[in-house]
Structure 1
Amino acid sequence: MATEKHFKYVVLGGGVSGGYAAREFVKQGAQPGELAIISKEAVAPYERPALSKAYLFPQNPARLPGFHVCVGSGGERLLPEWYSEKGIELILNTEIVKADLASKTLTSAAGATFTYEILLIATGSSVIKLSDFGTQGADSNNILYLREVDDADKLYAAIQAKKGGKAVVVGGGYIGLELSAVLKMNNLDVTMVFPEPWCMPRLFTAEIAAFYESYYTNKGVKIVKGTVAVGFDADANGDVTAVKLKDGSVL
């Protein structure tokens, strides 16, 4: 049977919140051995926003350990050694599949168990995939998502493999705008598609959005508004070749 580990505090999730929480636990006097951070990712907590920006730059792209937390707030960069120096157990590559709150026990996919006195759940969100909705052809190759460093590595590799090629960005929020910009910096032919009447409607007025959209258009990004992707065509290798839109057009 796998050994059970006990901690006073467990942070479930090794993202931005988990990393900043670790810094605060230390500031508040948490003792060595009291705190564990459990993450399914393979790396110590990092500043996730870098993934849609400098990580994909054509020249001198950002790489870890350059953007571990807490550099996003101008704080100290917490390298993996920092956690061990502070007596914090950083448990990586570990996905928790069961949480029994009554017995204060967490169980990993590999069957390891962890008990705690206080649990902080900081798992963040997961990507919504078009395949989750059964969108036709959504499991074709080169349909990529961005949430974790692994996703960014796949996207970076695709950019290198498709130099001068065409990219379609589905979504016109922060990540859609940032990826459209960085794909353009990599000299791809970029089209951004989103269902709203203008980009980032929850944050931008029509006037602010018009400014950004004209800025992007002047940089060569094509913008298609008011429609969504409903299907994808692929070639014999399973690589995506076309994006079918609800308005009947095909990119």
Structure 2
Amino acid sequence: MERKAFLKHTFSALGIFAVAPIIKSCNKAGSALQSDSDNDSMGQGSGTASSVAADTSCTVTPSEIEGPFPTHSPASYIRSDIRKGDGIGTTLTSVITIVNVNDNCAALENVYVDIWHCDVNGDYSEYGDTQMQSNNYTNLHWLRGRQQTDSNGQVKFISIFPGWYQGRATHIHAHIFDQSGNTLLVTQIAFDDDLCKTVNTSGSGYGYTKGMSGYTYNNADNVFSDGFTKELSAVTGSLSEGFQLSITIHVKA
């Protein structure tokens, strides 16, 4: 995957500044894609809901395609609260822990974690007129953020429970890189199918109005086709009180 442009960072006391976003990314075989939403035939829905246990072994978390729409700039993305501010969507507070498999999975301090995900409608900020959304949000930057891990290897983000779009299960994109701009891992965070079903069938009062017609479950999602237990988050809470997500991402550093 071409990352030379991304590695041209300027570091400052506030964090880092990177060059403009690279829209195209690569799949696991290295072929160019414009998005990661094309595994489902016109969103008819596929797969079945299943509950599985997350894999917590000390092995590297699977890498996934970067797309769609990575957060590469600006430096103002260094923030913990990445909500739109429109009050739509139930709050999701995510605590992400980064550990180093080359150090017996000890906490990894002072590395950067970028996350980005879609809104309740399945739309991403910064982009428009794609195969997955009709609205143009080119000049908006919501639901994107960057944080640096603390001594416990942790970062925290406040966002909303993501929506979904055709061909994909609910997910969050994550990019972990060191202070020199070297990529340690690009991955995605998965959600329990039954939880997503609950949110999308019971959450109309919070903006989740799409239901599950056309939804692609984890076991039919081509991004998670090699298994998703190492990318599965643990989520507690409720629509009314908000959700709390936790996950440990394993990298080699």
TM-score, normalising length from structure 2? 0.22
Q: Which has the larger radius of gyration?
A: 1
The structure with the largest helix share of the pair is: 1
Greater relative contact order (Cα 8 A, min sep 6): structure 1 or 2?
Answer: 2
TM-score, normalising length from structure 1? 0.22
